[in-house]
Amino acid sequence: MAELDRRPDELAVTGDWTYAPAPESRDIVRLRERYGHYVGGEWLEPAETYETIAPRDEERLATVGQGTEADVDRAVQAAREAYSNGWSALPGSERAKYLYRIARILQERSREFAVLESLNGGKPIKESRDVDVPLAAAHFFYYAGWADKLEYTFPNRRPRPVGVAGQIIPWNFPLLMLAWKVAPALACGNAVVLKPAETTPLTALLFCDVLRQAELPPGVVNVVTGDGRTGAALVEHEGVDKIAFTGSTEVGKAIQRRLAGSGRKLTLELGGKAANVVFDDCALDQAVEGIVNGIYFNQGHVCCAGSRLFVQESIYEPLVEKLKRRLTTLRVGDPLDKNTDVGAINSRMQLEKIEELVASGREEGAEIYQPPCVLPEKGYWFAPTVFTNVAQSYRIAQEEIFGPVLSVLTFRTPDEAVEKANNTPYGLSAGVWTEKGSRILWMAQRLRAGVVWANTFNRFDPTSPFGGYKESGFGREGGLHGLEPYLSFDDSEAFGG
């Protein structure tokens, strides 16, 4: 045997398996120094401004317009003009072409949008890259397919667009929430005034360049940035025919009170406190992965996050042990690092809310576990957290934390699991982990939640409707159901009355 073919007696094997940093380059994103409002296909210079930052290190990213009542009024007028002067009368097959263009451009510019989404929002780049941007494009593709089929979609009814839709989206999924709302509105022939969240306006502003590339007629989509005052001005404007809001339950209630009796259409997708129910016959390791995805995905900034974990008593100890061990492998850090699992909390205000609720859990007697991890010195960070020995009455089991915090409770029977899971003012989502198909169906019939996942969690698809019960709102987004909020029906005409 040649000398080179001989294996050495000892192989040099490293004992350090630490991940090396794998940062995504920011060079693909070209930020302007200053952004105005996008109205009527043009950029308007704002009268008032504020700074938007990167939550990972509090770096200033850009100056953004703070929308006033006058700005909102101009946007609504531009939308009304576009709606009345051709867009609403355009054949569905022609509207579909614009949606297809938008979808393709989002795919072509996916890396640019993913980097900006993580930079401005704080979520890990692998989530923006693999979930948010592809799903946003998929929604435009999906609703493009419906645009010329509306008359067949609702048999014996005559659908027509509502008019001008005012849309207010949150900061946890800025681009995806934009797609959820804009795509069906355009497919149905409506014009849009969109207000992105105050802390995450940049992907919506970059989307305006996609509209330019797609050559969408001016005024069909308008973007006015700002805080809650801008959203309030949009809700108050009499020229808006429909409001779609995703955000906190408190704000949703205020919007509903304001629009009550006005005749204007409203859909609300609000808070949640989802139950993730794990039975003793589940695939335990698979369930642990689903639990982690259900609460630590996007730092827990998910309205349908599985923040209440109900475990059957017989498997409580091994599940909690496996869960704690799994938490030690989560990497917390730079959102632009492709190895990061848990990124930055979106804002200082949200971080303070999480800290306050976690402190209340300690005070009420719950047992806290946080894996050892070094948090960056700059920016807004919170370690993945698990509470055990939690009672139903504790605030951490009742209030939406909207952060990477899990409360673990137990149950003995399916009836008890249903009773405890439904003991909440919310009803947005739930998860069931069991090998029995009959039990999945039994639970799904009884859980008061708009979405019930079986042996998975946080799975989304454009064809599937999403929405809640009780204080989680009303109306559905996604799927065939997502078209109806953007349509009105003249049934008497359809039947010849």
Catalytic residue positions, numbered:
269, 303
Nearest CA to 394 among 441, 357, 419, 347? Answer: 357
* 185 Cβ contact partners less than 8 Å away, ≥ 6 residues apart: 165, 167, 192, 244, 486
* 237 Cβ contact partners less than 8 Å away, ≥ 6 residues apart: 72, 73, 76, 166
Q: What is the DSSP letter of 36?
A: -
Q: How many CA atoms lie within 13 A of 405 on its CB side?
A: 30
- Beta pairing partners, 43: 38
Give the integer Cα–Cα distance in Å for 493 and 497.
5
Give the integer Cα–Cα distance in Å for 287 and 168.
34
Nearest CA to 312 among 415, 393, 417, 389? Answer: 417
- Supply the DSSP string of 413-438, one letter for each residue: SHHHHHHHHT-SS--SEEEEE-S-HH
Nearest CA to 461 among 441, 475, 480? Answer: 480
Q: Considering just the CA atoms, what is the radius of gyration of the chain in Å?
A: 24
Burial bucket for residue 463 (CB in 10 Å: 0-12, 13-18, 19+): exposed
Altogether, the residues listed in the chain come to a count of 497
* 331 Cβ contact partners less than 8 Å away, ≥ 6 residues apart: 19, 337, 339, 340, 341, 342
- Extract the tokens encoding 34: 């200053």
- Beta pairing partners, 44: 37
Q: Is beta strand 265-269 parallel, antiparallel or unpaired with respect to 405-411?
A: unpaired
Give the integer Cα–Cα distance in Å for 431 and 305.
10
Nearest CA to 430 among 259, 309, 331, 280? Answer: 309
Q: Is beta strand 429-433 parallel, antiparallel or unpaired with respect to 275-278?
A: parallel
How many of the other CB atoms lie within 10 Å of CB of 497? 7
Amino acid at residue number 430: A
Q: How far from 435 is each of 389, 442, 448, CA to CA, in Å?
A: 27, 13, 21
